[in-house]
Amino acid sequence: MKSKNKKIYVVIGTRAQIIKMAPVMARMQKAGIDYEFIYTAQHRETIDGVLKDFGVKSPDRELSSLNEANTMMRFFGWSGMMFSYVFRPKRVFPQRGLILTHGDTATCAWAAFVGKLAGCTVSHVESGLRSYNIFSPFPEELMRLVTFQFSDVYFCPNKWALKNVSRYKGEKVNLGMNPLYDSVIAALKSPVTLERFKQPYVVVSIHRYENIFKNRFEKTIIPLLEMVADGGFTLVFVLHPTTREVLKKNGGVLYRRLEGNDHILLRERYTLFHWIKLVNRAAFVITDGGSNQEELSYLGKPTLLFRDVTERIEGLGENVIISKFDRDIVRDFIMNYKNYKRPRVRSTKMPSDVIVAYLKNYLRD
């Protein structure tokens, strides 16, 4: 489906964005909706696997030739390159149209701002999430506020998020859930097989800036993980690129500390489909990821969130407990984790289908 005078751009820069937008793009392709996939290359590792899993086309354009922005210096270099487009927005969006971008990344805020300068309609998927604390999570809360200011269409995952953007002008659409739900369902149905781990095993994923680039990582988080491992669990610690680099600093002291623990297994980051199968079979999951919180709420998996606050409501008080890095909270959770298991969410309404239906109407009007 292609409108002669209307253009659709999908602007993505990180692996998390691709994971959540891949089912939308796959359904767009199935419906014959033509779109231009613009990739800012904020993240580079393992995106090809996600695209292949969903049958999504490769990016039509890449705006950055730099390596993955997985250190502060690389991020500033990437940011400088992306900022240059502020002065030439038509180079990115030569034809006015509708921009689809997602989440709370620098790419998302950048796409909304530059897209508005180019005269495009900006639509924000996963809109309306708030922590109401500008410094936590940082910079994600700031990125969302910037994106809200320049959006015209707000695709919100629930009524709470819808209420959070009620004061902003523009069209609000309640998806019922995040398109990540569609990704989780696709992963559960996939035929991928897993490495076998000694039961009970716990999956660990730590990567947020406020956790790994501060003393909290060495002084608080690693001792807490060691405490969990001492409780008779096998910890499968999945390494994000940034986390791996931090662990290997200073001669790799922290990396060797974890590697030398018989109850901790270090593993490189999995493909999405392998990841979902992995956490679905785990006893529980320790993570600091907002997307992880959401997908684990769909699975009903007991989850210990290594954060002080979260901008999401999914699973809170049900399967998800915020640790606040308190040893007593952590200890209580691991002793009673089975109490936090919930049934898997099942829905016949797929969020990606709602977005695609909106796009069809946009092209027809």
d(CA 308, CA 332) in angstroms, rounded, equals: 17
Q: Please, where in the chain does CATH 3.40.50.2000 lie?
A: 8-177+349-364, 188-340
pTM here? 0.89
Give me 307's structure tokens. Answer: 């954060």
Tell me how many degrees the CA angle 128-105-6 measures, rounded to the nearest 5.
75
Q: Note the pLDDT of residue 212.
A: 93
pLDDT for the residue numbered 126: 96
Strands across the sheet with 264-268, in order? 264-268, 234-239, 201-205, 284-287, 303-305, 320-322
β-strand partners of 61: 38
b/e code 54-65 from CB counts within 10 Å (16+ = b)? bebeebeeebbe
Residue 6, classed as helix, strand or coil, is coil
pLDDT of residue 348: 85
Q: CA 323, 327, 329 angle in degrees (round to 5)?
A: 45
Whether residue 139 is preceded by a cis peptide bond, meaning omega within 30 degrees of 0, is yes
Residue 40 phi, psi (nearest 5):
-85, -10
Q: Which architecture, in CATH terms, is 188-340?
A: 3-Layer(aba) Sandwich (3.40)
Query: What's the pLDDT at 86?
Result: 86
Listed as ranges, residues in the chain with pLDDT below 70 are 1-4, 43-46, 64-76, 78
pLDDT at 136: 81
Residue 64: predicted pLDDT: 66
Task: Name the architecture of domain 8-177+349-364.
Answer: 3-Layer(aba) Sandwich (3.40)
